[in-house]
Amino acid sequence: MGPKLLQDPKLPPPADMRSKPAPKRIVTPDPNFQSDIVTKLINRVMKSGKKSVARAQVYTAFGIIKNQTGQEPLPVFLTALENIRPQMEVRSRRIGGAAYQVPSPVRGPRRDSLAIRWLITAAISRPNSQFHTFADKLAVEIIDAANSTGGAIKKKMDTHRMAEANKAFAHFRW
């Protein structure tokens, strides 16, 4: 028998994991806003494990939102996320050698995950000449999304348009 591997005592042993999905990790609310969704945003912004840098960028963006809108940043962010969350998406399904784009509804946790991912991607793709820091880009993207404009909303509309265009293949859903 080989060396014993260190294992987290809270997780079941690997043999038990074969039959069921992995347990969901609990996200602790962030210290400033006591919100799980803000923690998820910070974790998605984080690169190379630098959480303090990511937290500073998100909090700076929230400060910019407060200055520009005159409103509390958390409700603006939650409104933006609600506007970005997709209802439908397309998934590839191979049937008889052909790949079909099959529309399917998006479940709750995945809706949040996609919304945060699209928000960050849209913020990154904003031009550097106009916005100098990531916090500036993120703040403007959140404000735009709260007003139902911007790159993240465009991505949601494109996804819904794809689902609508492939409605004929909905009977292939599994």
Residue 15 has pLDDT above 80, yes or no: no
pLDDT cut 90: percent of the chain above it = 70
Average pLDDT taken over every residue of the chain: 90
- Residue 12 clears pLDDT 70, i.e. is over it: no
Sequence ranges of the domains in the chain:
33-89+102-172
Name the class of domain 33-89+102-172. mainly alpha
Q: How many C-beta atoms lie closer than 10 Å to residue 64's C-beta?
A: 20
First-to-final CA distance of the chain:
43
pLDDT digits (tens, 9 = 90+) for 65-120: 999 999 999 999 999 999 999 999 999 988 888 888 889 999 989 999 999 999 99
Read off the pLDDT of each residue in 41-65 and give the average, rounded to a whole number. 97
Residues for the chain: how many in total? 174
User: Which DSSP helix (H) or strand (E) runs through 105?
Assistant: strand 98-105
Instruction: Please tell me the least confidently modeled range out of 37-51, 63-77, 91-105, 131-145.
Output: 91-105
Identify the weakest region by mean pLDDT among 14-23, 40-49, 144-153. Answer: 14-23
